[in-house]
Amino acid sequence: DDANSVTLQLQWVTQAQFAGYYVALDKGFYEEEGLDVTILPGGPDIAPPQVLAGGGADVMLNWMPSALAAREKGLPVVNIAQPFKSSGLMLTCWKDTGITSVEDFRGKTIGVWFFGNEYPFLSWMSQAGIPTDGGEDGVTVLKQGFNVDPLLQREADCISTMTYNEYGQVLDAGVSPDELVTFKYEDQGVATLEDGIYALEENLSDPVFQDKMVRFVRASMKGWEYAGANPEEAAGIVLDNDETGAQTEAHQVRMMGEIAKLIEGSDGSLDVADYERTVATLLAGGSDPVISKAPEGAWTSAITDAALK
Amino acid sequence: MAYVLALIVWGFGWWLNIRLSHSPRADTRLFSLLIPIIFGLTIVVMWEILVQMLDISAVILPAPSAIAARFAVSTHLLWADFEQTILKGAMTGYVLGAIAAFAVAILADRSPFLTKGILPVGAFMAALPIVGTAPIFVRWLGSDWHSKAAVVGVMVFFPILVNTVAGLKDSTAMQRDLMRTYGAGYWTTLFKLRLPAAMPFVFNGLKIATTLALIGAIVAEFFGSPTVGMGFRISTSVGQLAMDMVWAEIIVAALAGSAFYGLIALMEKRVTFWHPSQR
Amino acid sequence: MPALVVVAVIIAVWTLAVVPMNAHLTADQAQRDGLVMTPEAPAERQEYSGLVLAFKNPQIIPLTYTQTRPRLPSPHQVTAELYDSVFTKKITSKRSLVYHGWVTLSATLLGFAIGTGLGILLAIGIVYSRTMDKSVMPWAITSQTIPILALAPMIIVMLGAIGIQGLLPKSVISAYLSFFPVVVGMVKGLRSPDAMQLDLLRTYSASPSQGFWKLRLPASVPYLFASLKIGISAALVGAIVGELPTGARAGFGARMLVGDQYGQPMVTWAALFAAAITAAALVAILTLIERQTLRRMGMEAA
Amino acid sequence: MTQDMTIHAQGLDLTFDTNDGPVHALKDVNLEIKKGEFVSFIGPSGCGKTTFLRCIAGLETPTSGEISVNGMTPDQARQARAYGYVFQAAGLYPWRTIGGNIRLPLEIMGFSKSEQAERVARVLDLVDLNGFDRKFPWQLSGGMQQRASIARALAFDADILLMDEPFGALDEIVRDHLNEQLLQLWARTEKTIGFVTHSIPEAVYLSTKIVVMSPRPGRISDVIDSPLPRERPLDIRDSVEFIEIAHRVRDGLRAGHIDE
Amino acid sequence: MTQDMTIHAQGLDLTFDTNDGPVHALKDVNLEIKKGEFVSFIGPSGCGKTTFLRCIAGLETPTSGEISVNGMTPDQARQARAYGYVFQAAGLYPWRTIGGNIRLPLEIMGFSKSEQAERVARVLDLVDLNGFDRKFPWQLSGGMQQRASIARALAFDADILLMDEPFGALDEIVRDHLNEQLLQLWARTEKTIGFVTHSIPEAVYLSTKIVVMSPRPGRISDVIDSPLPRERPLDIRDSVEFIEIAHRVRDGLRAGHIDE
Ligand SMILES: Nc1ncnc2c1ncn2[C@@H]1O[C@H](COP(=O)(O)OP(=O)(O)OP(=O)(O)O)[C@@H](O)[C@H]1O
Ligand SMILES: Nc1ncnc2c1ncn2[C@@H]1O[C@H](COP(=O)(O)OP(=O)(O)OP(=O)(O)O)[C@@H](O)[C@H]1O
Ligand SMILES: Cc1ncc(C[n+]2csc(CCO)c2C)c(N)n1
Ligand SMILES: [Mg+2]
Ligand SMILES: [Mg+2]
């Protein structure tokens, strides 16, 4: 029934990045709240905000830059919870390219994820005053696919990686950390909030929906707590839920370990300071900023307040 | 209400087209252009009506007017994407794929043994889904248009191959016997009889391949590209929920594809004027 | 078996290509493992072609065949992975390619049925209605120039919005790709009867439906089969493409994507080959039916 | 127009447009054919015989002039299934057996299964093709194919039989045989028959009316009403009248050739 | 085998496999044709005339028996471009104009451009198709197409001319004309000609040797060496010898039909 069923749209395929939700489902935390939760995995062509707009899901996970951009496009999504405290995004470069600082990016080729995930990078570059159109003293941007080959094949000097996934894959390919230089967005002061929980504004005005979200967030956070405390088991649960059967245990265990670092210090409620920093970063996007003015009503603490009571 | 209005528009458009297509001038070039345009316009108007009146979110389906507006202000961007994807990626791949298919068809045709050997392998290649081949070619040839051309080449290869092979067998027994009475050799028979007889089939393959070429070049960009190109723009814009831009690119693709197809169809008319389907 | 000979040639070329394709990665790896490479600097090695590099460092040649993340896996690696995931796993297991094959195949067959049905109907409409010929045909062509992967998410979102999920959205994409070759081939086939064959029916004052069943349809059969063979490959590709925006859960497409993203090229290659083998099998079945049908129609040897 | 005037053509003109200019195929053709007549058309190759036959059957539309069949337009007559047509080439459908090809018009006209079988057997016998029922066209010799196509036209009882050189590919013996059969059929059924031939004796032997045409543009240069009786044994071909008519036809033909 | 024995067939047997059982098309056929002979084949439809002609040209392989042409196998003779072949149906290539179709063998055999043009013009004239040079096959009447295909076979000078009912679709006048032309050509060039016809007078008028065949399985039932002189005016057809031979041929044919 409508009052108790929730459909969650992930922003990527089933992996430990979303362990909290799978654990909550698997351990019956949702059921305890009387919820009937369906988790929809994402993929390369799925824009979660679009699925939300089309009514295919009630809540989605999203990176805040992409969510705020959707808001400006006229799709009023609202952050109702923020399980991820810190950003796992970074650039990973070959050390032998001579890159040691941001200034060294000039003249280099850098792989970037697009699909709404390019905003943090573009903001960063514009703050650093580095053009991204491939000139002599700018960077050449490659739209990066879903793997780390551009780096391994040396088509790119740096690529985007997540601490919990792609970076590990570079290492798995036999590369030792000594050969690499990394730039974490967190360290560069351009971190933006990742993997928040978002719902549509209009739905949130409905008390039944609101109640549903409260229970959903509460159970999800319980799931995250459990996953953080039991990384191996959580990874196992993720593996059970991976219908492709192609994920490996070692990989998911490591990912879970790294994810645990990112959720550390979050009880699920949005830290306003983090939010402000994200907005400031995005507004600083130079000639073509991601958002043109500070958004209003893009988040609410109502849900987490009720959930964490 | 919206549906009723849309239906009325549809009815009117269809009525107009029935009138036009049965008019004595239906076969003139003007009418051949006008009729599909009216058909398209009917759909566009229905689309606009439905989007406006049912209040469909622009994030899901933008109104044609919004798409047109976006198109108008983005022509330079669209042109750059067109150049990258169609002119460099798709065309190169199409030409290379077609030449390769032609060469292999003629090779395969030299002996039943090779035909039997190559066709299944060709069918095998045709079924290599772009989702799998694109990342591999991007890995091998880099993110720029070269990998896109390779993807396109592989995609267009099979339809052209199959059709050419079938076409080369399409001459009648009597036509072949005539060549035999002349003691004509393989190449003479090929050039004087079998290639001309094969042309209706070859063009069939070339026509199917035009649309594949476009799809291939665009979709392959989803798996890695420079920051220009129609596929790049589409996937990026979907991520940004800029659906008007997505549709503007789709329109470019449709225009380019139709023009490309039209060009091949025109050549077909010129070359296979003698075939019953052209008379 | 002629096909086997051709396959053998291809495998031989493939086997040879493994060395230059993987030379750089292998050299990087070997160096990390303590071997001495010439030249020493990895960036410098990029300047050389794979062949030259292998020539300069012959000790890496055998190693190129055993990389875990090769650019080009060797045939035996792909075969091993295929064997492993097809024969050694229970077919209900999600690690079995048979299981994923069925996921993809069911969407393919449904999509192919829809696409073929639609394609034939459209072709009939085009051949019999001047209005449809003039107005729809150009748009059927245009429809195929629209990149499906761009439309797919929208189709899926829209279908999802009205509560349709699962097999059908994938099949819609599959149908979308397979209907076009059928339309083109059938239009040509339905128009293939020559003037005398048509005139004969006119002297009988046969109705259009009789003209269809007794002349146009039988005359179009060879064209239909040629199209069906292209159509079914397209349907399979469509089903695989459709698996990405439906959440890449299961099926060959999901395997390819996940294999690609998690640095398991063998998973991708195995899925790729499994897909192609499936398609070849489908085409072979159609060829068999075609041969039977044409033989029964007395058209095989003509 | 009297009721028994089956076919009536007046001032018929037909021009084909081709890649290098128009071809004037028929020019001012006037002809009346009464019900039950047997009319032969004879004339040099390319003079428009086929074209005229096609006009009668409504397969070709004259550029100008009028033509009526049973008081209707050819199109309407076609709707009424008035025609049995034998084309100059056999034109069998390659995916049907010989039997299937003959059955085709019967299926279309809705004969019962048993009636179909019976008629197929009868006409196969008539053209001497027993036992070839289940062969495909390409397994037959040229003449056999042509006979099958004659059988196809005879299988249903059309009012008007139009035959475009039906016996061209047959040897004299079979030809004589089929000529006799055709005459018998005609006598029995009172069909109206339009018959294109190149053989002067054949034309004279069969016809009540012989139409001689001359080429480029196709015109009717002579119409000969045969004084021969309807009952015609084969040896009538040695009679004086016969030879006289044959002479007149030959002269007409020759004139056409000299004209040219 | 003497040097001037152009075609030599011995114990030829040919069986076709069809969907319903084998068809015995030729049975124990023995024939010798000397260089420069004009041989006509006559026989009821389906008796194997086309099949035998095709064996001579190496287009069909006998099931058993031997055949040699100019001391070679038919295949070798084909390589040596020994044959001009006129098929029973015109078989023109639809993508070539009439001129283009006639030019086809000339192109293949490497005649110069000017020679090609000259020969095309000459044979077009011979078959009375001047002015149709640039038309496409489907724009010609059946008889005109057949004449074009004759022109195509005459355009180059093959040693052996094989003609399968070439004049079947032509009217008597044109036929007489072409018969005379063919005889002249034969007299002038000493070609060896194999000629299938259904017309007894035509066979007798043209041939030095008449081969009568009977059907199912196709056998040679009579071989008649003509006593007529090589020089033959048209009115030789009224001579006693002529009528005698014609009688013998007719009897042979009739026997074949009764046999059946
Ligand atoms: N390709 C084939 N397959 C099967 N049977 C065939 C084939 N070609 C010819 N025949 C059969 O062989 C026999 C002889 O045929 P052929 O064409 O030689 O006759 P023909 O003497 O030329 O007759 P016509 O005068 O009618 O042309 C016929 O019974 C025919 O059915
Ligand atoms: N479809 C066409 N397009 C152009 N010209 C045509 C077409 N059909 C016939 N003709 C021309 O019309 C003229 C008459 O042709 P038709 O077929 O009626 O001759 P015919 O008397 O039947 O000759 P035949 O005895 O050789 O069959 C010819 O000159 C021919 O070239
Ligand atoms: C097309 C596309 N590209 C990149 C991302 C970004 N992204 C968000 S989470 C995640 C997984 C990291 O292991 C990635 C890659 C996306 N969602 N879709
Ligand atoms: Mg004619
Ligand atoms: Mg024959």
Q: How far apart are the first and last CA of chain A?
A: 26
The pLDDT-based confidence of E259 (bands split at 50, 70, 90) is: very low
pLDDT tens track for A123-139:
888 888 888 887 778 88
A247-281 in b/e form (b: 16+ CB < 10 A) is bbeebbbbbbbbbbebbeebbbbbeeebbebbbeb
Q: Which residues of B touch A69 (CB under 8 A)?
A: 240-241
Which ligand is closest in space to the CA of residue D51? 2
Residues in chain C: 302
Which residue's CA lies nearest to atom 10 of ligand 3? Answer: A12
Contact B224 A150 (CB under 8 A): yes
Residues pairing with D9 in the sheet: D31, D67
Which of C41, C71, C153 faces A45 most closely, judged by CB atoms?
A: C153
Structure tokens given for D18: 């081709």
Q: Is A278 in the pocket of ligand 3 (CB under 6 A)?
A: no
Contact B275 E80 (CB under 8 A): no
Residue D211: the pLDDT is: 92
Using a CB–CB cut-off of 8 Å, the residues of E that contact B are 54, 57-59, 78-85, 87, 89, 91, 93-95, 104-105, 107-109, 136, 138, 162
Q: What is the mean pLDDT of residues A252-267?
A: 88
Is residue A25 classed as helix, strand or coil in its secondary structure?
helix
pLDDT tens track for E70-100:
888 888 888 888 888 888 777 888 889 999 9
Rounded CA separation D99/D121 (Å)? 8
Contact B253 C244 (CB under 8 A): no
CA distances from C80 to C14, C15, C76, C85, C266 (A): 16, 15, 6, 9, 9
The answer for residues whose C-beta is within 8 angstroms of residue E169's C-beta and 6 or more apart is D45, D88, D165, D168, D198, E142, E143, E146
Which ligand is closest in space to the CA of residue D14? 2
Q: Which residues of D touch C297 (CB under 8 A)?
A: 95
C232-268 in b/e form (b: 16+ CB < 10 A) is bbbbbbbbbbbbbbbbbbbbbbbbbbbbbbbbbbbbb
Structure tokens given for A87: 């950003």
Q: Has residue B194 got a pLDDT over 50? A: yes
Q: Has residue C141 got a pLDDT over 70? A: yes
Chain center to CA of B10:
27
Over its length of 260 residues, how does chain D's per-residue pLDDT go in tens digits?
445 568 888 888 998 887 777 888 888 889 989 888 899 999 888 888 889 999 998 888 898 888 988 888 888 888 888 888 888 777 888 888 999 999 988 988 888 999 999 999 999 988 888 888 988 888 888 788 888 988 998 888 888 899 998 887 777 777 888 888 888 888 888 889 999 988 888 888 888 999 998 877 888 888 988 888 877 777 788 888 888 888 888 888 877 665 44
Contact A117 B227 (CB under 8 A): no
Rounded CA separation A298/A274 (Å)? 13
Q: Which residues of A touch B239 (CB under 8 A)?
A: 47, 66, 114-118
Q: Are C155 and C220 in contact, with CB atoms under 8 Å apart? A: no
- Beta sheet of E209-214, edge-to-edge order: E83-86, E160-164, E192-196, E38-42, E209-214, E219-225
DSSP C42-83: HHHHTTS-HHHHHHH-GGGTGGGGS-SS-SS--HHHHHHHHH
- Give me the residue label for tokens 């000039």: A106
The residue type found at A82 is Q
pLDDT tens track for B243-254:
888 899 988 888
The pLDDT-based confidence of C136 (bands split at 50, 70, 90) is: confident
Residue A18: the pLDDT is: 92
Q: What is the mean pLDDT of residues A182-197?
A: 88
Residue E2: the pLDDT is: 45
Closest CA–CA distance from residue B264 to any residue of chain E (Å): 19
Residue C39: cis peptide before it, omega within 30 degrees of 0: yes
Rounded CA separation E39/E32 (Å)? 10
Which of D12, D17, D23 to mutate for ligand 2's pocket (most ligand atoms within 8 Å of CB)? Answer: D23
pLDDT tens track for E9-18:
899 899 888 7
Touch between D and A (at least 3 CB pairs under 8 Å): no
Which ligand is closest in space to the CA of residue E138? 2
User: pLDDT: is A287 or B267 the higher one?
Assistant: B267
- Give the range among A32-46, A222-236, C119-133, C135-149 with minimum mean pLDDT: C135-149
Which residue's CA lies nearest to atom 16 of ligand 1? Answer: E48
Q: What is the mean pLDDT of residues A279-284?
A: 83
The dihedral sign for the CA sequence D238, D242, D244, D246: negative
The residue type found at E189 is T
DSSP A103: G
- Give me the residue label for tokens 């009897």: E251
pLDDT tens track for C226-236:
889 888 988 99
- In a 13 Å sphere around the CA of A261, the CA atoms on its Cβ side amount to 11
Q: Are B255 and B243 in contact, with CB atoms under 8 Å apart? A: no
Task: Identify residues whose C-beta is under 5 A from ligand 4, the ion.
Answer: D 50, 88; E 141-142
Contact A73 B241 (CB under 8 A): yes
Q: Print the SS3 string covering chain E.
A: CCCCCCEEEEEEEEEEEECCEEEEEEEEEEEEECCCCEEEEECCCCCCHHHHHHHHCCCCCCCEEEEEECCECHHHHHHCCCEEEECCCCCCCCCCCHHHHHHHHHHHCCCCHHHHHHHHHHHHHHCCCCCCCCCCHHHCCHHHHHHHHHHHHHCCCCCEEEEECCCCCCCHHHHHHHHHHHHHHHHHHCCEEEEECCCHHHHHHHCCEEEEEECCCEEEEEEEECCCCCCCCHHHHHCHHHHHHHHHHHHHHHHHHHHC
Residue C280: the pLDDT is: 84
Q: What is the mean pLDDT of residues A83-93?
A: 90
Which ligand is closest in space to the CA of residue E87? 5
Alpha-carbon dihedral of residues D53, D57, D58, D60, nearest 10 degrees?
Answer: -30
The residues spanned by each domain of chain B are: 1-54, 64-278
Contact B238 A44 (CB under 8 A): no
Q: Are E198 and E239 in contact, with CB atoms under 8 Å apart? A: no
Rounded to a whole number of angstroms, the CA Rg of chain C reads 25
- Chain C residue with the nearest C-alpha to that of A94: C43
Q: Are B71 and B78 in contact, with CB atoms under 8 Å apart? A: yes
Q: Is A167 in the pocket of ligand 3 (CB under 6 A)?
A: no
User: pLDDT: is C157 or E30 the higher one?
Assistant: E30
Q: Is A113 in the pocket of ligand 3 (CB under 6 A)?
A: yes
Q: Has residue E210 got a pLDDT over 80? A: yes
Is residue C276 classed as helix, strand or coil in its secondary structure?
helix
Q: Which residues of B touch A50 (CB under 8 A)?
A: 59-60, 238, 241
Could you please state the CATH topology (level 3) that the domain comprising E1-82+160-225+252-260 is classified under: Rossmann fold (3.40.50)
Q: Domains along chain C?
A: 3-72 (no CATH), 97-297 (1.10.3720.10)
Which of D14, D18, D19, D51 to mutate for ligand 2's pocket (most ligand atoms within 8 Å of CB)? Answer: D51
Q: Please, is B168 exposed, middle or buried when counting C-beta atoms within 10 Å of its C-beta (0-12, 13-18, 19+)? A: buried
Contact C150 B246 (CB under 8 A): yes
Residue D210: the pLDDT is: 92
Contact C247 A148 (CB under 8 A): no
Does residue C149 sit at the A interface (CB-CB below 8 Å)?
Answer: yes
Nearest-5° Cα angle at A296, A291 to A300: 120
Backbone angles phi, psi at D231, to 5 degrees: -80, 120
Rounded CA separation C108/C228 (Å)? 13
Q: Are E159 and E193 in contact, with CB atoms under 8 Å apart? A: no
Of D133, D136, D131, D129, the residue nearest D150 (C-alpha): D129
Structure tokens given for D114: 């048993």
Backbone angles phi, psi at E64, to 5 degrees: -150, 175
Q: Are A8 and A46 in contact, with CB atoms under 8 Å apart? A: no
The pLDDT-based confidence of E257 (bands split at 50, 70, 90) is: low
Q: Which atom of ligand 2 is least distant from the CA of E144?
A: 26
Q: Is E141 in the pocket of ligand 2 (CB under 6 A)?
A: yes
DSSP B278: G
β-pairing verdict for D209-214 and D38-42: parallel
Is residue B229 classed as helix, strand or coil in its secondary structure?
coil
Q: Which residues of B touch C181 (CB under 8 A)?
A: 159, 208
Task: Identify residues whose C-beta is under 5 A from ligand 5, the ion.
Answer: D 141-142; E 50, 88
Q: Which of C204, C215, C292, C300 to mutate to test the interface with D (most CBs of D within 10 A)?
A: C204
- Chain E residue with the nearest C-alpha to that of D256: E173
CA distances from B165 to B102, B119, B162, B197 (A): 9, 9, 5, 11
pTM for the full predicted model? 0.83
Residue E180: the pLDDT is: 85
Count Cβ atoms below 10 Å from residue E19 Cβ, excluding itself. 14
Residue E217: cis peptide before it, omega within 30 degrees of 0: yes
CA distances from A23 to A15, A30, A76, A164 (A): 12, 10, 29, 18
The residue type found at C181 is P
Q: Has residue A63 got a pLDDT over 80? A: yes
Backbone angles phi, psi at B275, to 5 degrees: -75, 140
The answer for residues whose C-beta is within 8 angstroms of residue C61's C-beta and 6 or more apart is C19, C54
Residue spans in chain D of domains classed CATH 3.40.50.300 = 1-82+160-225+252-260
Instruction: Name all residues whose Cβ lies below 6 A of ligand 1.
Output: D 138-144, 169; E 16, 18, 23, 25, 43, 45-51, 88, 218
pLDDT tens track for C83-114:
888 887 777 777 888 888 898 999 999 999 99
Q: Is A161 in the pocket of ligand 3 (CB under 6 A)?
A: no
Which ligand is closest in space to the CA of residue E24? 1
Q: Which atom of ligand 3 is least distant from the CA of A43?
A: 18
Q: Can you point out the beta strands (E) in chain A?
A: 5-9, 36-40, 59-62, 77-81, 89-94, 109-112, 140-143, 158-162, 180-184, 196-200
Q: Has residue C19 got a pLDDT over 80? A: yes
Structure tokens given for C88: 């050694």
Neighbours of chain D (3+ CB pairs under 8 A): C, E
E110: left (phi over 0), alpha (psi -120 to 50) or beta: left
Which residue's CA lies nearest to atom 25 of ligand 1? Answer: E45
Q: Are D173 and E251 in contact, with CB atoms under 8 Å apart? A: no
The CATH homologous superfamily for domain B64-278 is MetI-like (1.10.3720.10)
Which of C204, C218, C298 faces D136 most closely, judged by CB atoms?
A: C298
The pLDDT-based confidence of C248 (bands split at 50, 70, 90) is: low
Q: Is A147 in the pocket of ligand 3 (CB under 6 A)?
A: no
